[in-house]
Structure 1
Amino acid sequence: MSKQCACKGIRRCLLCEDILNSIPLQKENENEKSELTSDIWYYCMLCGNKAYRENVSHDYHLDSSEFILINGVYVETNFISEEEENLLCQGIDQIPWVDSQSGRRKQDFGPKVNFKKKKIRIDTFQGFPAFSRFIIDRMKSVDKLADFLAVEMCNLEYVPSRGSAIDPHFDDFWLWGERLVTVNLLSHTCYTLSQKDSNVKVLVSLPRRCLCVLAADARYKWMHAIERHHVTSRRLGINIRELTEEFLENGSSWPVGNELLDKAKINFPTNSK
């Protein structure tokens, strides 16, 4: 029987669950059960570093003494306009998609990396799409990102029909730096932050057209995920990464980092699909 998806190992989507004669909503049911047994907290973007048991207004939080302190989450709503979102999506959909695990599709603009062997292939890196350059420029206006040097961009597509999701994980610590940046397009979703051997989950709301930054504790102490039941319609995520200090000036791998940063200034050819 031919495989219709890109899932490997324990990864699953609705396509391979159907091939394996699983109940198509098995993963969804697991998530719903997890929601019932988990200790759910809701991040407040106005407080900036706290999550509360109830998903209510910020004014209510001012009188609440029960919260989880979680440093390093930043969400800016309406980071781009609806017109800019349309232009981005049109540009993205002119570029071929590659099937990825857990029911997603992706477009990678960055080096090819073997994280286990710590090897980087630079020659295939052809820069970022020209239509996305304004995002990187606009990020400079965000205080937390004023010195951010973008070196990798990965566009990810999530759709309910494939059961798209991403399991709890840490992004690589060797190559990718502290700040993980995402621009959320087309629909609302949530990041689910969690820690190993804990039933606590912190839900970070990602409104349509927002910018989200995970750094500090939210980057290094909390894993992040997008659960299947939080994908209710097509969603595109533009994920942008920076380098660790090892690959920056005065770091031991600066020659490689310098070449990557030069490559990041090139406009990726997008004139064919």
Structure 2
Amino acid sequence: MMFIEYVNLTYNNFINQIKNSDKVEIPGLILIEDFITVKQEKNILQHVYSTKSWIPVQDRIVLHYGYSFNYDLNEVGPKLSNLELPSYMNPLLEKLNKLFPSMPKFEQLTIQLYPVGTGIPPHMDHHSSFGPNVIAFSLENPVIMEFKNLKTDKVVNIDLPRRSLMMLKDDVRYAWSHAVRARKSDLLENGQVRERGQRISLTLRTVNPDRICKCSWPELCDRNINSKS
């Protein structure tokens, strides 16, 4: 059964909050609203905006910690001198560890600032470079993210709320591309048009040390695609 796991942290028991949605069919996608508190968001944004080491990438700017990111190949880049993730991430990592205690330590952080009207082209993070879980937080403003099943071409739009957590695992991690279309507004499910604001995303990844992937999607895996080229 295909499903999206959807969570609202205003309830008491996290485990009981995960439920199947009859509206969206994306296996492996977990969305948690209000994962980040208003106070935590304010603290993170203060630190992020005070940073002077932004790198321009296409029509946005980015920061990397632990490892850089190769945007041409969507794979891991060289190890950086600032291996430690910034301390303002600690409360989020602690909450993640409590909710998902078996999840390995995240080694790569990408922070991206999206001016109004910008986005990211459809892509799938390199199988061999990164581990089975990708975590993304959305700050300042919500956005519609487009997912496409690379086997069936099915397209599903997901609204990522402000201060939310999105986890990609299983099918959505290895067999779906994701994108944010470059535009100044999003059409919502209820027919309303929502103007976009500037958005900050924080993406956490683990790194495969041997750069070998053993996933269950060999026809979409770079270990096979690259060997044929």
| TM-score, normalised relative to structure 1 | 0.60
Q: Are residues 221 and 120 of structure 1, via their aligned partners in 2, closer, same or farther at CA, if it must alter by over 3 Å?
A: closer
**Kept after mapping to 1: 8 A contact 2:4/2:30:** no
Corresponding position of 2:134: 180
Corresponding position of 2:218: none
* SS of residue paired to 1:225: strand
The alignment of Structure 1 onto Structure 2 pairs a total of residues equal to 187
Taking the aligned partners of 1:197 and 1:44, their CA distance within structure 2 comes to: 21
Taking the aligned partners of 1:113 and 1:209, their CA distance within structure 2 comes to: 23
Q: Percent identity?
A: 19
Q: Are residues 108 and 120 of structure 1, via their aligned partners in 2, closer, same or farther at CA, if it must alter by over 3 Å?
A: closer
Q: Deviations over 1:214-253 (max 9, x none)?
A: 11000111101111234700110000001337479xxxxx
What's the CA shift for 1:124? Answer: 2.8
Q: CA RMSD in A?
A: 2.9
Taking the aligned partners of 1:49 and 1:132, their CA distance within structure 2 comes to: 29
Taking the aligned partners of 1:156 and 1:51, their CA distance within structure 2 comes to: 32
Letter in 1 for 2:199: R
Q: Are residues 178 and 200 of structure 1, via their aligned partners in 2, closer, same or farther at CA, if it must alter by over 3 Å?
A: same
Gaps of at least 5 residues in structure 2 are 8-17, 187-194, 213-229
**Kept after mapping to 1: 8 A contact 2:150/2:175:** no
Corresponding position of 1:26: none
| TM-score, normalised relative to structure 2 | 0.71
Letter in 1 for 2:65: F
Taking the aligned partners of 1:239 and 1:157, their CA distance within structure 2 comes to: 12
**Kept after mapping to 1: 8 A contact 2:76/2:129:** no
Q: Are residues 94 and 105 of structure 1, via their aligned partners in 2, closer, same or farther at CA, if it must alter by over 3 Å?
A: same
**Kept after mapping to 2: 8 A contact 1:139/1:146:** no
Letter in 1 for 2:204: I
Corresponding position of 1:10: none
**Kept after mapping to 2: 8 A contact 1:159/1:232:** no
What's the CA shift for 1:173? Answer: 1.1
What's the CA shift for 1:134? Answer: 1.5
Indicate the structure with greater helix content.
Answer: 1
The answer as to 2:114 corresponding to 1:150 is no
Gaps of at least 5 residues in structure 1 are 1-41, 53-67, 249-273
